[in-house]
Structure 1
Amino acid sequence: MKTSALTGKVKTDVEIKASPEQFHDMFTNKPHHLHHTCKDKVQGCDLHEGEWGNVGTIVNWSYVHDGKAKKAKEVIEAIDPDKNLLTFRVLEGDLMEEYKSFRITLQVSPKSDGNGSIAQWTMEYEKLHEGINHPETLLQLAVDISKDIDAHLTKPN
C-alpha cells in the first residue's frame, strides 16, 4: 500500500529577540492584539467561544494571504506553558477549500547562547487533491508575522 502524497508537514524556525514566554503569551493570551503589530497581515482575531489562553477556545482570524483577505475559524488544541507550545486546528474558512485537515503548532525555545529565542512553526495538513500546493506561502506568512511581533515586543518604550 502506498502512502498518500496528500498529507504533509512543513516547518520553519524564526530567530527572534523576544523571550519564549513573551512570544508564547502574545499568541496564547493576546492574539486579539496581533492586528496592532502587523495590520497588513492580520486584520483581526475574535473570540468565538471560550476564553483566551484555554484549550478548547475557538477563535476567528481575519488575515491577508497571497494578497487576498482570508478567514479561518480555529480551535486551540494544546497549550503547554512549560514548553511555550501552542497548537491550533483549523475548523472552517478559506484553508478548508484546499485542505481536508490543517493544524498549526508554534513552539518557542530559548537559543542556546541565551540571546533571544527560536520560534518554530509546524503546519501539518491533508490536501483535498494532488493539484493543491504545499502551504509554503502560508509558512512564509507565519515568518513575517513572527518578525513583526518580535519587533513590537522588543522595541524600546
Structure 2
Amino acid sequence: MSKIEIAVEVKSPADKFWGAIKESTKLFPEIFPEQYKSIEIVEGDGQSVGSVRLIKYAEGIPIITFSKERVETADEESKSVSYTVIDGDISNFYKHFKASLQVVPKGEGSCVKWSVEYEKATEEVPEPNLIQEFAVKTFSDLDTYLLNLKA
C-alpha cells in the first residue's frame, strides 16, 4: 500500500471551509461546473458513515468520467472525513483508493490536510499525481469562492 499526503493552507476559517466540504454534494457542481457535472447521493445522507455518492466529472477532466465513493469515517469535532472509491474509472487503475481530508484551524485561516492510500492495479499505473493536483486546485478554488462570498 502506498500513501501520498499534502497540506494546503487556505485563508478561510476552518468552520467555514469544513461547512463547504460538508455541502460539497450540492455546492461543487454549482461552483465548479468545469470539473463536476453532478454529485448525487446514492445511499444515506451523503455525509455520514456508510453514505455513498456518485460523482460525474465534466468532459474537461482527463481519464476519469465518474467515481462512486463510500464515506468510511466522518468526525464533526476534528473536521475530518475519509472515503473509499468503490466503483468508477479510478477502480481501473487502483485496487484500493481511500482518501482522507481534515480541516485544521491555523491562525485566521486553516490548513487542509489531504491524503490518499492506494494500491496500483498494475505496475504500469502511474502515481495518482493528477488526482492530487485536482484536489489541490479544488481546495484553492473553494477558498477563493468562500473569500469572495463576504466581499
TM-score (norm 2): 0.91
1:106 corresponds in structure 2 to 101
Is the 1:12–1:122 contact (alpha carbons within 8 Å) kept by the matching residues of 2? yes
Partner deviation per Cα, 1:28-68 (whole Å, 9 max, x = no partner): 24422111222212222111111132111100011257534
1:147 equivalenced with 2:140 (yes/no): yes
Gaps of 5+ in 1: 1-6
1:52 corresponds in structure 2 to 46
Deviation at 1:115, TM superposition (A): 2.3
Which consecutive aligned stretches of 4+ in structure 1 deviate over 6 angstroms post-superposition? none
**Quick one: which amino acid aligns to residue 128 of structure 2?**
P
Match of 1:21 among 4, 15, 19: 15
Q: Identical aligned pairs, as a percentage? A: 27
How well do the aligned residues superpose, as a CA RMSD in angstroms? Answer: 1.6
Q: Higher relative contact order by CA 8 Å / sep ≥ 6: 1 or 2?
A: 1
Partner deviation per Cα, 1:54-85 (whole Å, 9 max, x = no partner): 11110001125753451000001111111110
1:67 equivalenced with 2:62 (yes/no): yes
Partner deviation per Cα, 1:112-151 (whole Å, 9 max, x = no partner): xx12011011011011111111101100100001111111
Which deviates more, 58-67 or 124-133?
Answer: 58-67
Is the 2:39–2:54 contact (alpha carbons within 8 Å) kept by the matching residues of 1? yes
Is the 1:90–1:101 contact (alpha carbons within 8 Å) kept by the matching residues of 2? yes
**Quick one: which amino acid aligns to residue 34 of structure 1?**
F
* Matched residues, number: 149
1:79 corresponds in structure 2 to 74
Find the residue that maps to 2:127 and give its secondary structure: coil
